[in-house]
Amino acid sequence: MLGYRSLFTVARDSIHGCDVDALIGSQVHAWLRSKGLDADAVEPGTVVDVGRGAEAALSVEDAASGSRSSRFHLTEASGWTSQVIVHDPRDGRHDPWVWIDVNSPDEQTVARAPKLARMVLSVVEARDGGAVLDPAVRTLRTEDVPTLVSALRDTSRRGPVFVAGSSDEIPMEPWRALISKLLRDTTGLAAGFLLDPAATEEFARRVGASHAVAPGTLRTFVREVDLDDALDGRRHRVLTTERIARDREVHLLRILGRVARDHTLTYPIPTAAARVEGRLIRQADEDFLRSARTPTTAVVDERVPALALPERGSAPEQDELDLDVPQGERDEQGTFDIGVAMPPATPKTSRSPWPSRKPKLAGPVPHQATLHESATDAPEPVAVDGGVLTRIMAALRRLLGSDGVTPEAIEDLGARAAEAAPLRELVKRKEASEQVLQDEIGTLRQRHADAVRQREDVTLDFAEAGERARRLEAELAALRRALQESGNPDLGELAWTDHLATDDAETLTPDSFEELLLAWSTAQESGSLGGVVWTGDRDTVLALDEHGPASSWAGVTWTVLRALDDYARVSAAGEFNGSVDDYLRNTPPGCHGYSANRHAQTESETVRNNDRYANSRYLPVPRSIDPSGRKHLWAHFKIAQYAMVAPRLHYLDATATDGKIYVGYIGKHLPLPSTN
């Protein structure tokens, strides 16, 4: 499953005259050695066994225009695969680009930022649009702010940009070290910057309050930043100082890594890059067949010419990406004038970064000796049972005809069999590749189906919210008219006063479940949300923050909690007599509500009567409610429909006992027969 993707251009003036493919190749070589694999076995135009059950392939294509493309592919016994594609136009106008993909063995295994990406970024200046992808967080000064603003606006940028603010009261080095830790899983996917105190103020002055980065916070700027639209600021989430201080580093690291991966994996690959990959994959197939047909004493051609296959045609003159910035325009686009430590420069060369040597073939080489070879060169004779020989002759007659069994025909049949062996192996490889693609297609189809259901849910929620808003507006207008017509001047003035709520529980909309738990606790300390008590597991709730739409889920959950709190309050006061479902369908005036269609009072009989499903809903409650400290919490709210997560909130209505609602679970959908 594709879990990591990094695509960036390389500033040609940062590689000091070196060939970019040689620089990247040297890092791949060192990376293979660090994994205990035989990096020296890798040769252009071959598919080789590099040890530990791993197989590596390196294909190179030289176009008539002078451009060079190369593709390195590693398949490991564990199921992990890595691919590195390098394309160098060599036209003096466009920068080279590099594409790194990592596929995990399954959908449950997260592909974090690979060591290879860090190694590559340490020897080249990689750019995502106008942003520099440095493996370390860069500290920016006031003079760097205009370039940062330009990078945020750059429409060719693929990944997010993380910006941290500072002040004179914050120690810079510890703050920088912490931000570097939190952004470790975003290497190659996003740019990370720390504004010094003066730069923090200058940045706020240039972008305005809606997009500013406060000292001690970390803000994520996604694509297509519109600094002229204050509402656009809501798209670029802020990691607050309080949350950074309270939450575990590993939890924040995973969230930020997931944000960066989600953005880069869902953004389409440029057509030009996809074309280059397609040609190099076909080249790799030809390389495999050639390797399998070549005796082990063959010497690899160091020039590695592109294969001129009529059905493929020659390589196009250019394969440039839309994200390329011509060197002559780079100053106008803006770059950061911060040096990158580079290895000693080496002269340009057309040779592979790997030394030429006899390849170790990935599979056995079929024996290709003829029937007429000398006795000293021929294989040792094998004794054949007469019955077996009879069957062999019968099979040959069926294949060649009764009169066709001649030494020449048998030799030709053997040659054909030898030719077929590598083709069968290639078919197996293609079938494996096809299975990977089928799995990805299946995943994409599931995501599409989930997105359709999500859209339907959102459409329904929007319609219900609109209807509720219209009712409230009509009610407000009627009350204002009544106050005005009362004849009391004070009431008339009160009718048109803006009555915005000042209580935090009323105005707050949490951006994450971490913020929701904190706000819930803070509200209860101040006397709000006292009717809703949390008894569940904190880690289960926080796990939801690792999924894309967590921000909206947290807001929905907060709405549910406020509705339950109002239900508990009016029920305890005797102002409402009914169930939670009755309350949602007929919400009293002045109380918070929620869609009754997203609420279930109980579970199906199948769930209640199945031990496995029922036990997962046997959740914590106070011992004053049940001496065992647990009870089945069948009633639940549907927070969202999202793949296999589909977050839910399970609760117990104990208002008839002690006036409280106990929430024992907020997390992904508990087991069901349909998700078994």
DSSP 60-95: EEE-TTS-EEEEEEEE-TTS-EEEEEEEE--SSSS-
Where would I find the beta strands (DSSP E) of 217-370? 218-221, 238-239
How confident is residue 124, by pLDDT bands cut at 50, 70 and 90? very high
Q: Which of 212-226, 458-472, 659-673 has the lowest mean pLDDT?
A: 458-472
Rounded CA gap, 436 and 441, in Å?
A: 9
Cα angle 275, 7, 280 (rounded to 5 degrees) comes to 30
Whole domain around residue 147: which residue ranges?
A: 2-333
For the chain, the average pLDDT equals: 81
Hey, what amino acid is at 610?
A: N
Residues 364-375 as b/e (b if ≥16 CB within 10 A, e otherwise) read: ebbeeeeeeeee
CA distance readout (Å), 125 to 96, 149, 188? 11, 19, 11
The tokens of 97 are what? 């680009």
Candidate from 81-95, 213-227, 453-467, 501-515 with smallest mean pLDDT: 501-515
Record the tokens describing residue 328, joined without a space: 């002559």
- Are 328 and 400 in a shared domain? no
pLDDT surpassing 60 at residue 292: yes
pLDDT value at residue 67: 93
448 inside domain: no
Whether residues 513 and 641 share a domain: the answer is yes
CA angle 147, 148, 149 (to 5 degrees): 90
Q: Report the pLDDT value the prediction gives residue 499, as an integer from 0 to 100.
A: 54
Write down which residue in 298, 333, 368 finishes a domain: 333
Residues 518 and 415 in one domain: no
Q: Do 399 and 509 have their domain in common?
A: no
- Rounded to whole angstroms, what are the CA distances from 299 to 49, 53, 304, 319, 614? 17, 24, 12, 31, 67
Compare 440 and 226 and report the one with higher pLDDT.
226
Report how far apart, in Å, the C-alpha atoms of 140 and of each of 202, 225, 336, 670 are.
11, 20, 9, 46
How does strand 161-164 pair with strand 191-195?
Answer: parallel
Do 16 and 105 share a domain, yes or no? yes
Through-space distance between the first and last CA atoms of the chain, rounded to whole angstroms: 21
The answer to whether 463 and 447 are in contact (CB under 8 A) is no
Residue 407 lies inside a defined structural domain of this protein: yes
| One domain, residues 398 and 542 | no
Q: What's the pLDDT score for residue 348?
A: 38
- Check residue 502 and give its pLDDT: 45
Q: Is residue 462 part of a domain?
A: no
Tell me how far apart the alpha carbons of residues 452 and 619 are, in angstroms, rounded to a whole number: 32
User: Is 468 a member of any domain?
Assistant: no
Is residue 401 domain-shared with residue 518, that is, in the same domain? no
Does a structural domain hold residue 369? Answer: no
In a domain, 457, yes or no: no
Does 243 lie in the same domain as 178? yes
Split into its structural domains, the chain has a count of 3
pLDDT of residue 339 exceeding 50, the answer is no
Stretch 314-329: mean pLDDT: 42
3-state class of 621 per DSSP? coil
The secondary element (H helix, E strand) that includes residue 216 is: none
pLDDT of res. 601 = 95
- Look at 24-28, 197-201, 252-256, 580-584 and tell me which has the smallest mean pLDDT: 252-256
* Total number of residues shown for the chain: 676
Same domain for 397 and 314: no
Contacts of 524 (CB under 8 A, 6+ apart): 530
- One domain, residues 525 and 408: no
> Positive or negative, the Cα torsion across 35, 38, 44, 46?
negative
